[in-house]
Structure 1
Amino acid sequence: MRKTSTRLRLAGGLAALLLSVGAPVAQADENEPPTLAELAQRHGRYFGSATDNPELTDEPYKAVLGTEFDMITPGNGMKWYATEPQQGVFDFSQGDEIVNLARANHQRVRGHTLVWHSQLPGWLTSRAWTADELRAVLKKHIQTEVRHYKGKIYAWDVVNEAFNEDGTYRETIFYKTLGPGYIADALRWAHQADPKAKLYLNDYNVEGTGPKSDAYYQLVKELKAQGVPVHGFGLQAHLALQYGYPGTLEDNLRRFSRLGLDTALTEVDVRMYVPADDAKLATQAEWYRDMTEACLAVRRCVGITLWDYTDKYSWIPAFFDGEGAALPWDEQLRPKPAYFAIREALG
């Protein structure tokens, strides 16, 4: 897949960036290349990054975060364990810090995530609930959080990871107690709390067509038929070199668009077995470029978010033994071939 020409173009992009870095400070505004966000905006898209509160003390990291991107996702600070650590006691300090930083940098925010089976507080998971009890708890949590951020959040990942790989419903506390209707309820409650926010379903391993993405396709058709407010489908795009590239990504984005949904690549990284080498980094760069091109090819694919932009703060090494190097910037905040491949795709 275009390996030789890709390497030449990437080398040229690196040379151009190094030349611009060496330019006199007085001319920096004229000579600095456009950011990923600026390039994406020319296509009517956004280009974003996740971030998390502990790394916001890292000023060099924060400088890139504040300039290169125009959409920010809090990696953990808006999840249930952080926002309602005790029943009925809400704490939005982590989310607020990231929202305030984004607003200061003229960036928008994707809210992540209202309903998920993971990272739940102990008070919620350590006891049995009747359906009426859990429905009330869920509604209060969703509406309190969404109201708190009303007018400050572009889109919410309302329900995250609702299906198994074979397309059956994941046996979460919500599904087991409330049945599949919890998804429609969650979307309706979020919409009541902030009618202007875009509401997404979000999952991993749904980039290509297959049983899991088919299940979402069918669910969206049913929700739309019932008049349930659902506006977007988020494809996390946590990819790994050893599993191959999802060649049907563009087709999949297109079929969800035809249902009247926006789509977005919401948590992008491309991991590999470490150490990285030139061949792996070249393949990774190809994948980042191909994903970017797939989004640009589908009108209602609205943007791309990296799951943090640098290997320095990647979640991958802690969760996948022996894997890493998944992001377009390395641990020293230096751009990798993937970064230049994204720039190339954005033109």
Structure 2
Amino acid sequence: MKITLRPNLYFGIIFCLFLNSFNSFSQSNSKSLKKAYQDDFLIGTALGTQHILEKNAQADKLIKEQFNAITPENIMKSEVIHPELHRYNFDLADKFVAYGQKNQMYIAGHTLIWHSQLPRFVYKIQSADSLKMFMEDHIKTVAGRYAGKMNSWDVVNEALNEDGTMRPSIFYKLLGEDYIKMAFDLAAKADPNAELYYNDYNIEQPAKRKGAIAMIKKLQASGTKIDGVGIQGHWSINSNNIKEIEDAINEFSALGIKVAFTELDYTVLPNPWDLKGADVNQNFEADPKMNQYKDALPDSVGTKLANRYSDLFILFLKNKDKISRVTFWGVNDGHSWLNGWPIKNRTNYPLLFDRDCQPKKAYNAVMQLKSGQ
């Protein structure tokens, strides 16, 4: 029997086939971290100057496709934004905030008070009153300028030693532990709607975690506003600390605060003396043995990296009700600070995207966890 299609029906079928093909094409080209994890937590990245100024079209496209949260890598640290006592430099910070607003992203400020990357004049301060004046002026000016525009601030960064005691920074030496409460109170006054975080590395480890919990409890008992804790997540593919990470998520969350992973990366290279953490003041001499993959990352190491990220994101999904954000510390491997720390001029591969902004096995492993959902 011969079937004759009416013209309207014929074109309707063709249109439906075209629409299905178009939708399939769009879905295959809309795969992204932020869409895959949109019901779980924010997915962020750290932006360097080239990204803020949109100088790299390939990276810019990747950022906008994959991430819905941004953190400034360096340009809001005090040595950059407040280089002299009575002079601020807001040019790049303004552009960073504008970038986030334009692309409807969560904007995290990093960081208001940190012992490192301070302006030179701060290191010369010798009195408690002068240091208080710096803190008051700095936080009021910086946090105040962006009040209502920032979603969160890393108020105090890396205030603890590995054993959980207070780091002997210039702030601690002149002001004692009270400088932390002072910083949070000043930030809350300057930008009352922003979430306020304490940020540090290795605070998933028991001793340092205990110190962080004690510090947060003191702030809460005093009535100081603290909304969350940032676990940096500078780890090695040769470490297996999943239990410690889960314990940290649960213990920090039990304080009634949010948990964010703020600076996530996995080094694939060895560190001197099995160094752990992210103390930027630690640097070592170059050694060929410490730069094993100068030309390319072996497939077996790429698989190990992918497995580490997969295990980590399985844990994140298990605890998604406690986690507010997961931010990678860099857009791609070429942008990572781990190419220059703790040994300069190395070739590291710690992120989900390679130097050409192409997805790696690690990216596929993280995305695979959400396939079919």
- What is the match of residue 318 of structure 1? 340
Q: CA RMSD in A?
A: 1.8
Matched, 1:161 2:185: no
The residue aligned with 1:302 is 324
- Out of 179-188 and 27-36, give the one that drifted further: 27-36
- Contact 1:151-1:196 at 8 Å conserved across structures: yes
Cα separation, 1, equivalents of 2:50 and 2:364: 28
Aligned twin of 2:50: 54
Once the two structures are superposed, the pairs formed by residues 1-347 of structure 1 within 5 Å of their partners are 28-43=25-40, 45-55=41-51, 56-125=54-123, 127-207=124-204, 209-273=205-269, 274-275=292-293, 276-298=297-319, 299-321=321-343, 322=346, 324-347=348-371
CA contact (8 A) 1:52 1:76 kept: yes
Residue 28 of structure 1 deviates from its aligned partner by 4.5
Unmatched runs of 5 consecutive residues or more in structure 2: 1-19, 270-291
TM score, norm. by length of structure 2: 0.82
Q: Which residue of 1 aligns with 2:282?
A: none
- Following TM superposition, by how much is the alpha carbon of 1:25 offset from its aligned partner in structure 2, in angstroms? 8.3
CA displacement at 1:33 relative to structure 2: 3.8
One-letter code aligned to 1:71: A
TM-score by length of 1: 0.88
Equivalent-residue separation in structure 2 for 1:25 and 1:83 (angstroms): 47
Q: Provide the rounded CA distance (Å) in 2 between the counterparts of 1:151 and 1:292.
A: 31
Which deviates the most, 258-267 or 283-292? Answer: 283-292
Per-residue CA distance 1:111-162 (angstroms, 9 max, x = gap) = 000011111111111x133111111110110111111111111111000000
Q: Report deviation, 1:223.
A: 1.1
8 Å CA contact 2:34, 2:42 repeated in 1? yes
Other-structure match for 2:286: none
Is this contact kept in 1: 2:235–2:266, CA < 8 A? yes
Q: Which stretch of the first structure deviates more once superposed, 321-330 or 233-242?
A: 321-330
For the residue of structure 2 that corresponds to 1:305, the secondary structure is strand
- The 3-state SS of whatever aligns with 1:49 is strand
Shift of 1:24: 8.6
Of residues 287-296 and 133-142 in structure 1, the stretch that sits farther from structure 2 once superposed is: 287-296
Contact 2:59 2:331 (C-alpha < 8 Å) held by counterparts: no
Q: How far apart are residue 39 of structure 1 and its match?
A: 1.5
- Taking the aligned partners of 2:213 and 2:260, their CA distance within structure 1 comes to 15
2:82/2:89 contact within 8 Å kept:
yes
| Cα-to-partner distance string for 1:57-108 (whole Å, 9 max, x where unaligned) | 1111111111210000010111101111111211111111111112111111
Q: What SS is found at the alignment partner of 2:31? A: coil
Partners of 2:104 and 2:25 in 1: CA distance = 20
Asked whether the equivalents of residues 272 and 323 of structure 1 are also in contact (C-alpha less than 8 Å), the reply is: no
1:288-333 per-residue CA deviation (whole Å, 9 max, x = no partner) reads 1222222222212111000012011111011133561111111111
Give the SS at the match of 1:259: coil
Q: In structure 2, what residue type is equivalent to 1:158?
A: V
Query: Cα distance, 1:168 vs. partner?
Result: 1.4
In structure 2, C-alpha distance between the alignment counterparts of 1:116 and 1:60, rounded to whole Å: 32
Which stretch has the larger CA shift, 226-235 or 239-248? 239-248
- Give the direction of change, closer, same or farther, for the CA distance of 1:150–1:128 in structure 2 (3 Å limit): closer
More helix by share: 1
Instruction: Measure, in 2, the Cα distance between the counterparts of 1:61 and 1:25.
Output: 26
Preserved contact between residue 242 and residue 312 of structure 2 (Cα < 8 Å): no
| CA distance in 2: counterparts of 1:65 and 1:268, whole angstroms | 16
Q: CA deviation at 1:26?
A: 9.1
Is residue 158–residue 200 contact of structure 2 (8 Å, CA) maintained in 1? yes
Preserved CA contact (<8 Å) 2:114 2:157: yes
C-alpha separation between the residues in 1 aligned to 2:222 and 2:55?
A: 46
- Alignment length (residue pairs): 322
Residue identity in the other structure for 1:104: K
Whole-Å Cα distance in 2 between the matches of residues 95 and 178 of structure 1? Answer: 28
> How far is the alpha carbon of 1:242 from its aligned partner?
3.2
SS of 2:160's equivalent in the other structure is: coil
User: 1:250 touches 1:297 (CA, 8 Å); kept in 2?
Assistant: no
- The aligned counterpart of 1:8 is none
Q: Which amino acid aligns with 1:281?
A: G
After superposition, the Cα gap between the structure-2 partners of 1:49 and 1:121, relative to the gap in structure 1 and judged at 3 Å, is same
Residues 1:188 and 1:341: Cα distance change in structure 2 (over 3 Å)? same
Q: Distance in 2 between matches of 1:128 and 1:303?
A: 36
Residue identity (%)? 33
